[in-house]
Structure 1
């Protein structure tokens, strides 16, 4: 049989990424973007559906009688009702390990920019402060080495491990956090509360689950005795966002680098938007994953997952 493949949000991969079409008989339908109320109409003939962030809920699945397989062009599958797909016998696959370079590199771009006050010094130069200083340097904002600092990592997967490797190369002391509330994870892990208290840089690389939602809130900010830099390149819901704003404004943390927000894009009244002109706060638009190389890997893995399913050997199945 010929498969009918529909990609609902191809624009999420960017125009420079080329997606290889599968090597079996098929028809191919691509949409740059798809609104939630357009999903059922556009996907009604699909036997194979590709989505990145488009929501695929049970009410829509009820209207897709031909659907046999869902390929998610991302690692996270929270936009897909996986349980509803399981009940219907529809396998769901994702892409894996494509971000083990791009996310750690973005993480350290944020860490270095904040630790060395790059935004503050760039703004100072643009405002003419260097010329007014009449000397060879400006020393108006803090500059701290990474060497000798303590790096706390929440999330011990491939990305967390890669962040640790880079941190050690800078001469940082690395602490992997035990899961919050757990004390039985062995000597390779440091209790969560201790990591919060000892870290000069705290970076999040864990999935968003019911257990990790709101992982960092008022109580955690109150324990951050070393005024760390907080970096989140994982999921926005891991942090109580209003609590982060309050912590930064009262000086409980030295800075924050954020690449994931609970609502993306954030609305104009989101609490983070009142911080965007602060030099100790960097908000990037969920691009930590998005190097050209990583996006090409995503595209290649999606095609491979589709071919594996049609060959009767599905891979990266999350259902």
Structure 2
């Protein structure tokens, strides 16, 4: 006898708090898939109603093979690995977990700014090598009184604004999709054109999705326009800051340091030029992977699937809202 329970595929490991939500539903059966190759997912896809996904690629073939798929729920806010058009074409909601990683990435951004300003990468090895007398050859700086430009003022960027204010920084904010009054309410000075203010900026951080509008938005010209000795941070998506231009600006000395959590190609190649530059601090796309963030992401990822089954999914977490409009119209 065929089961009338909803079938959910969990691709990868989720925090136990998220799994507990699935375990608590008698009307749901789930399977955890560790082999996330497309070939294996195609074998498991038929009859699937919901997919919880961390890093697997969700292709059109997988979506269509399911046959009755209702929702793909991303463990986080990025969805580069999901075929959005295929979801929309097949009436599948693509949901994200917006409350998951915003505090974590905002803190990572401030960590980079502080570590760069205070020359941690230089001072720590001096202590370990016993080169105490060389400590004054490197000059740390204060964030206090410096001007920070935050490009992108969504869930993460708005939090960076508040944290930078706590360090008494002057904060400029750019986001063409956020009203100037809302930017002021965050505590930032709104700017209409981020390129026009670069000459006043000591530190720049980007918090935007990767798309045709944002790809390469910080290139050689933008880096050259920053104040000499500026700091650059990218905890958003690879490609927003041109990697070759950043290396060149670091090597010329115009940019004093950079913090990078994301790369054009991940993982980066073994001969990536960033590896030769001690003034570029790097983390492995892990800014949003704190203990708390993973818990929040797992819970909301599963909540979004169950809410879809229950008809209570919050439209605010749905990427392809055209599916919701089509459902309402029918």
Q: Specify if TM > 0.5.
A: yes
CA contact 2:105–2:235 (8 Å) conserved in 1: yes
**2-structure distance, mates of 1:256, 1:78:** 24
**2-structure distance, mates of 1:286, 1:252:** 26
Deviations 1:252-289 (A, max 9, x none): 201000011121211213332333xx1x2101011111
Say whether 1:142 aligns with 2:142.
no
CA contact 1:17–1:292 (8 Å) conserved in 2: no
CA contact 1:17–1:295 (8 Å) conserved in 2: no
Correspondence for 1:272: 274
Q: Which deviates the most, 40-49 or 76-85?
A: 40-49
**2-structure distance, mates of 1:24, 1:307:** 12
**2-structure distance, mates of 1:53, 1:282:** 24
Say whether 1:211 aligns with 2:213.
yes
For structure 2, the 5+ residue unaligned runs are 321-330
SS in 2 for 1:230: strand
| Total equivalences in the alignment | 305
Say whether 1:163 aligns with 2:160.
yes
Correspondence for 1:229: 231
CA deviation after TM superposition for structure 1 residue 167, in Å = 0.9
CA contact 1:92–1:317 (8 Å) conserved in 2: yes
CA deviation after TM superposition for structure 1 residue 192, in Å = 0.8
Say whether 1:281 aligns with 2:276.
no
**1-structure distance, mates of 2:216, 2:53:** 27
Say whether 1:4 aligns with 2:7.
yes
Deviations 1:112-132 (A, max 9, x none): 1110101100111122211xx
CA contact 1:152–1:203 (8 Å) conserved in 2: yes
Q: RMSD of the TM alignment (CA)?
A: 2.1
Alignment map for 1:173-184 (pairs within 5 Å): 173-179=170-176
Distance 1:20 1:258, change over 3 A: same
For structure 1, the 5+ residue unaligned runs are none
Correspondence for 1:305: 304
SS in 1 for 2:29: strand
CA contact 1:98–1:294 (8 Å) conserved in 2: yes
Correspondence for 2:319: 318
CA contact 1:199–1:226 (8 Å) conserved in 2: no
In terms of fraction of residues, the more helix-rich structure is 2
CA deviation after TM superposition for structure 1 residue 166, in Å = 1.0
Correspondence for 1:196: 198
Deviations 1:219-255 (A, max 9, x none): 1122123331100111012111111111111112010
Alignment map for 1:21-170 (pairs within 5 Å): 21-22=21-22, 23-130=25-132, 133=133, 138-170=135-167
CA deviation after TM superposition for structure 1 residue 310, in Å = 0.8
CA contact 2:113–2:231 (8 Å) conserved in 1: yes
CA deviation after TM superposition for structure 1 residue 53, in Å = 2.0
Deviations 1:35-73 (A, max 9, x none): 344331233342211112211122332322232221111
**2-structure distance, mates of 1:239, 1:37:** 34
TM norm structure 2: 0.86
**2-structure distance, mates of 1:36, 1:232:** 30
Say whether 1:20 aligns with 2:20.
yes
CA deviation after TM superposition for structure 1 residue 98, in Å = 2.1
TM norm structure 1: 0.89
SS in 2 for 1:152: strand
